Structure 1
């Protein structure tokens, strides 16, 4: 138990230092959490926003693994699943409020649709930690994420660097309506607006699904077999497989992916692939729990906390690929190998 408590304290210090290192604007706003201070063990409510792809499944599993390490601090975890539905997420949060959980962690399925129920939780003196997805306004306790807008911008900047200041590109967006996908594309547009000779010839949603992304890109290539680049908020090998099956020349691909299946394909085909993966780590859910511990101890936290994305390139892809792990696995992870293999059925 002594070792576990020391580990918790180390993790809390790490979160504090990360927050300080990336503090700007609301990130500089310090939240006084003394009103939420309670003695452990605590009951933590955690809503799984969506399980529509392997990233979201591993994101949830990272939280479960982290929570299992702290039985001396956590009495119970109330875990619900919203399946991408705003209405269901509202009901799940209301259920947690009724159960008087000590804290709620959510990844909002809407930037504005949950504001009222979050306010209801705060009025009940239940702090709310936003995990990897932002909302409009500031009616929440604290927030942890990478900067999705900056992530999308970095992808676009790399693409311009690789293809030059003019050309025709495909754009593959993520899940429509989710703030993460919207922020990434907004960041990319900041860059593309500076280069009027870069033309988005086709744009569609891949829904962060490999089969749908492959189908969308295949249809695009049928209409425009010659293209200069792809900005894809997508799991990368859906894009690459579409190009390969169409026998289209490979172009620079900008993605947010460190998915192992994508990295395996990329590493095997380095001679013809020019890509970047500006990634959002699945262990953000673990950091949300670390922030929760700070709040429930009455320790100060920053309103918004950001960590830098990991960046995979042709130069370092072999450092991140895991040949011994399933294709569904996301390699920038803290999961044990056994837990990851159990999750993905291998």
Structure 2
């Protein structure tokens, strides 16, 4: 009788333990998530700056996703801040979001290191944190979302080296120094350039991701370097600026890499450039927002979600330009997206 009692008691305890473990696992399916937050959620968008067109388009996809989630009864409020490029201001704004107890924070970081303490605080309070594009060094976030920026730079450099026959003089155009996306693209290009010593870097510069400063910077570099054979541009607006600078000086266009900036793609087609491009999809904002809700709803969200890099070349540039009218003249022609795509990405397919 006692044996039967203890056997039953043990089975009951084991069942309770397994049940508790399963419940805990469901509640802790993603980092920072405690399972005690309920829909509809308040989402915070901690924007580092809103002036560049890429950022405006990205925020547009985020806001559209919020409207869709509202219709599903999953979100009731979006809080937006703009740090105007100041990483310290961004930290203060994130702290304000924590103090107001938002359920999720969507973040493009102004610094890879500075937000660590405030993000740890948010994570400890069960706030979902989705960091995309410009990433932080800390793991105290729910998930990081990005394309492979190093692969971006590697593929661009390989294209340029191949187009130049493995030799010649190039200019290298980077985005702002200290921005992780820009730095990682450059790091990815480095091994390719080092493996091809006959490709010589005449000059290298960092500029904002805008056409006007890029054109000005390239104009100065062209005056100092009369013979160039290629341009390794690691940003779309930078490429447009470079093409315009060459054109204004009456210089021959050279093989060039870039991004899905509408102006660059239109110049590419107009001038029959030897070009290559990829993209940092603006819908990363929408995906990050959707992903935050998935995490809050108890879904298993990995610590890092890799977004595949599409390639734009002479074979498919026409497909992008066919949709150009749907995007701002100074904007980016990004690929289509929907929830089915998001689910496929989350499933790792």
Normalising TM by the smaller chain, what interval? 0.7 to 0.9
Deviation larger for 301-310 or 47-56: 47-56
Instruction: Normalising by structure 1, report the TM-score.
Output: 0.84
Whether 1:314 and 2:310 are equivalent positions in the alignment is no
Whether 1:264 and 2:266 are equivalent positions in the alignment is yes
In structure 1, the residue matched to 2:164 is 163
In structure 2, the residue matched to 1:339 is none
Q: Structure 2 regions of 5+ residues with no counterpart?
A: 1-28, 339-349
Between Structure 1 and Structure 2, how many residues are aligned? 304
Runs of 4+ aligned structure 1 residues displaced above 3 Å come to 30-34, 333-336
**CA displacement at 1:210 relative to structure 2:** 0.3
Whether 1:98 and 2:99 are equivalent positions in the alignment is yes
**CA displacement at 1:246 relative to structure 2:** 1.1
Which of the pair has more CA radius of gyration?
A: 2
Question: Relative contact order, CA 8 A, sep 6+: which one is greater?
Answer: 1
**CA displacement at 1:285 relative to structure 2:** 0.7
In structure 1, which of residues 237, 240, 243 is the aligned counterpart of residue 243 of structure 2?
A: 240
**CA displacement at 1:45 relative to structure 2:** 0.8
**CA displacement at 1:31 relative to structure 2:** 3.8
In structure 1, the residue matched to 2:185 is 184
**CA displacement at 1:97 relative to structure 2:** 0.3
In structure 2, which of residues 251, 256, 268 is the aligned counterpart of residue 253 of structure 1?
A: 256
Query: For residues 265-344 of structure 1, what are the structure 2 equivalents within 5 Å?
Result: 265-270=267-272, 273-321=273-321, 322-325=323-326, 326-334=328-336
Contact 1:36–1:127 (Cα < 8 Å) also in 2: no
Residues of 1 paired with 2:212 and 2:233: CA distance? 14
**CA displacement at 1:52 relative to structure 2:** 3.5
**CA displacement at 1:165 relative to structure 2:** 1.9
**CA displacement at 1:137 relative to structure 2:** 3.4
Deviations 1:74-120 (A, max 9, x none): 11111111111101110110000000001111011111111111011
Whether 1:83 and 2:84 are equivalent positions in the alignment is yes
Residues of 1 paired with 2:336 and 2:65: CA distance? 9
**CA displacement at 1:333 relative to structure 2:** 4.7
Residues of 2 paired with 1:57 and 1:141: CA distance? 24
In structure 2, the residue matched to 1:38 is 37
Query: For residues 26-175 of structure 1, what are the structure 2 equivalents within 5 Å?
Result: 31=30, 35-36=34-35, 38-71=37-70, 72-175=73-176
In structure 2, the residue matched to 1:4 is none
Q: 1:291 to 1:276 in 2, by over 3 A?
A: same
SS in 1 for 2:311: strand
Residues of 1 paired with 2:65 and 2:216: CA distance? 36
SS in 2 for 1:328: coil
Residues of 2 paired with 1:95 and 1:198: CA distance? 50
RMSD of aligned alpha carbons: 1.8
Deviation larger for 50-59 or 165-174: 50-59
SS in 1 for 2:110: coil
Contact 1:45–1:103 (Cα < 8 Å) also in 2: yes
